[in-house]
Every structure is written in structure tokens, then in C-alpha cells.
Amino acid sequence: MANQHPGMPNDKDTLLAIIESLNDGVVVCDMEGNFTHFNKAANKIHGLGASSVDPDSWSNTYGMFKTDRTTPFPPEQLPLARAMAGETTHNVGMCIQKHGEDSPMKLIEVNGAPVISAEGEQIGAVVVFRDIEEKAQLQQQLLQAQKLEAIGQLAAGIAHEINTPVQFVHNNLEFLERSFGEVMELFQQMQSLLQRTSGSLAEEGKQLLEEADMEFLTEEIPEALKQSCDGMKNIAEIVSAMKGFSHPGSNNRQLVDINNAIENTLIVIRSECKDIIDFETSLDTTLPKVPGFPAELNQVLINIILNAVQAISGQLKEAGCAGGRITITTGRNQKKQIVIRIADTGPGISESIQHKIFDPFFTTKEVGQGTGQGLAIAHSIVTNKHKGSIEIESSSGKGATFTIKLPIAEVSRI
């Protein structure tokens, strides 16, 4: 060949060597639908070679789904089928998973095209694809982070705006509570004076006091003022906790008070419980602060506790009863680690899926009720950013216990 590039022989072995060197998977089939080649990357993604696969067993070997991970991909719309029909496709997203195996689902991006001979006749089809599962996970985590950042900014603004009127109202209620005692003392003195006085004016005064039902007001108004003051105090605590949660994260490690982080998390999360869950805490007050990233650790706590709340709520809804409990304890072990245990009385997690719960996108919730990212993000924050560990102990029907261990000494590698 006159225009062949020097040093690049044009033969089948060289072409196969080039295909084998690609990081993208390449699958080729003839017009009868027989697979003629899987390169190494394709075999790595699928776990099978061309000798192991025939067209008849392909659909029985793999489940192929749309990117929602639940809807089966119509066979006639698969990139390879469309390439066999002479159509070229670009960047088709789909998920594959082996049947009959406890294997993870993989998100792949596929390009397909017909293979045309020098005479212009279609002699087969080729698909080129890559595993983009990790890329999708990173994108999902980025979206989650952006969403949390937006919520945090909104919460910070709301907390700032609410803080001043809350303090104003709380101070006024405290003033009214103190002043009412003085007013009641004055009324009691007037009542005593009227009892010692006679005449039409005295009788008229006694009648007015009786109509005002001062005995009832004396009992109820102080209680109403006390409840209002307690309510405003609770609002102030929630605002303070929200300000802590909405504080932007830092790239530098800081000393974190784990007990305080837990208490703030419970203040924020109680609104999700709707009075159906009791919280019990046993926090070691002698714990030292740990070096870490406060915003990320707050996210770990709220993800795990909220997950427990939702599990108990779902169980109670199905059982038609009320009542659940989440117990949180802190302490330290002999390995110079702070240990946080979060135990719930929920439905528990089957042993068969416990190894999956920290996988991105894995969720036992119904479609639309969870992204499967909460526990995956928590695991990444604890193990990667803080060099700690997070484990679960559970069995069906007996609740679940998450154990988080964080090093007390600062870890040099972030």
C-alpha cells in the first residue's frame, strides 16, 4: 500500500493488538450475531470472554437496564442491536448486571456502529463502551454536595433572620413573666383591701374581681408564660444548631466536640420524628475533641440518625403501631479512638445485603424515597477523610447498630 504509514504494518495482528491496548471495551460480532471478539477491557467489565458467550445466552447472562437502574432496556434498542440494523449510536447510557450472582450493577456508556467492508457491504457490528460507574458516583456526590451547600446557605440566612426576633420575643416574654408576678401581688393586696372595706364601692370592686375570675387567671397565665418562654428557648436552640450545620466546611482540620455535634443533630432532626421516636443518649463527658472536619462529621451523624428514623417510621407505618427508640452512646477504646454507637429498634438489615449498604446508589427504600447516597457518603467521610471506620451489626427484625470509630490523634494524611 503506497500510503501506509512507515512503521505501522497493516495486518490483522496489529489491529488486534491496538484493540487489546484500549481502555474502552470493544465487542465485535458478525451479521449472524456471533460474537467474534471481546478485548481485555470488555472482558474486565463483563467478566466473560467471547468463547464464553453466544447470542442465545447473552440475555440470560446479563440484566440490562436503563440508567434508572430498574427499567429493563428494550432489546431492540440496545446499541448492538441498532448497529446490526445499520444504525450508529453515540453515548448511550445503560446499566448491566449478571444474573444469578451477587454482583454490583455497572453503569456504562456505549457507542455502536455497523462494520462496513471495502465493498460497502455491512459485515457485522461493533460497540465500544466504558465503565462510568465511578464517574457517575462522583457526579452524584458533587450534586449532593451542591444541594447541601445551597440548603446550608439558605439555612444560614434563615437562622440569621430568625435569631434577632426570637431573642426579642424571648426577652419580652421573660419580662412579662416577671411583671405578671408583681401585678398579681398588687391584685392580691387590692383584694385584701376590699375585704377590709365596706360600702357600695367596696361591693362593686368585689363583684368586678369575681367576674374577672382572678383565681383562674392566677393559675393559667403564669403557666402560659412559662410554656411560651420554654418554646422560645427551644426555637433559639434550633436556630443555634442550624447555624452550626450551615457553617461552610473548611479544608483545614479543626477540633470537633463529638458530643456537642450529636446534641445539635438531635435538635435539628426531632422535627422528622413527629413524636413517634424516643431518643436516649449516654455521652461520655470526658471525651477529648477530635481533629476533623465539622461540617462533614455533622453530615455523617445526620445521615445515619435520619436513616434510622426513616427505618423505624416505615416499620411503624406498616405495623400500624407507634413507638420506637434510637440510642446514641459515646466513649473511647484502648486504641485511642472515640467510639460512637447509634442503635435503633427498626426492622434491621438482612445479613445478605449488609455488605452492600455502603455502596453508592444502594437503597432499600422505594423509588423516589432515597438516592442510596447517604450511607455511601458517610462511609467515605469517615474512612477516607478521617481515617476511621464505620461498621454495622444487624439482623432482620432486631434493629441495627452503627459503630463509628474516629482517631483521637490527628492523622497526617488527609
Residue 235 lies in a domain: yes
Q: Is residue 147 part of a domain?
A: yes
pTM of this structure: 0.48
Q: What is the CATH number of the domain that holds 35?
A: 3.30.450.20
**Runs of H (alpha helix) within 196-253:** 200-211, 214-246
Task: Show the beta-strand stretches assigned E in 265-411.
Answer: 277-282, 290-292, 324-332, 337-344, 389-394, 400-407
Domain for residue 1, yes or no? no
Q: Which phi and psi angles does 25 have, rounded to 5°? A: -75, 140
As a whole number of angstroms, the distance between CA 230 and CA 182 comes to 21
Which among 318, 299, 306, 242 has a CA at the least distance from the CA of 279?
306
* Within-domain flag for 6: no
Residue type for position 268: V
Domain of residue 268, CATH code: 3.30.565.10
Phi and psi based region of residue 67 (left: phi greater than 0; alpha: psi -120 to 50; beta: remaining): alpha
Residues 413 and 347 in one domain: yes
Domain boundary at 103, 131, 159, which?
131
Say whether both 220 and 276 belong to one domain.
Answer: no
Q: Are residues 96 and 149 in the same domain?
A: no
Residues 382 and 284 placed together within one structural domain of the fold: yes
Which is nearest to 166 in space by CA: 224, 266, 233?
A: 233
Kindly state whether residue 279 falls inside one of the protein's structural domains.
yes
For residues 347 and 229, membership in a common domain is answered with: no
pLDDT in tens, the chain (414 residues): 444 444 444 577 777 788 888 888 888 888 887 888 878 877 777 665 444 555 555 656 778 888 888 888 888 888 988 998 999 999 898 888 876 656 677 888 899 999 998 888 999 999 998 888 777 777 776 666 656 655 655 566 666 667 777 777 878 888 887 778 777 777 777 777 777 776 777 777 777 767 766 777 777 788 888 888 777 777 776 666 666 655 555 567 888 899 988 988 887 777 667 678 889 999 999 999 998 888 788 888 988 888 888 888 877 766 655 678 899 999 999 888 999 999 998 888 877 777 777 776 556 555 444 445 678 888 888 988 888 999 988 877 788 899 999 998 765 443
- Residue ending a domain, among 131, 166, 185, is 131
In a domain, 300, yes or no: yes
> Are residues 168 and 66 part of one domain?
no
Same domain, 235 and 205: yes
* Total number of domains constituting the chain: 3
Q: Residues with Cβ < 8 Å from 90, sequence gap 6 or more?
A: 111
Where among 220, 248, 276 does a domain terminate? Answer: 248
- Answer yes or no: do 396 and 263 share one domain: yes
| Burial class of 298 by CB neighbour count within 10 A (0 to 12, 13 to 18, 19+) | buried
Phi, psi for 65 (deg, rounded to 5): -130, 160
Q: Are residues 103 and 226 in the same domain?
A: no
| Domain membership flag for residue 2 | no
**Residue 288 and residue 214 in one domain:** no
| Beta partners for residue 406, in sequence order | 338
For residue 228, CA distances in Å to 253, 257, 328 come to 40, 30, 29
Residues 410 and 298 in one domain: yes
Torsion over CA: 363, 364, 369, 375 (sign): negative
Does one domain contain both 261 and 378? yes
State the residue range of the domain holding 140. Answer: 133-248
C-alpha cell at position 390: 464505620
Asked if residue 4 is part of any domain, the answer here is no
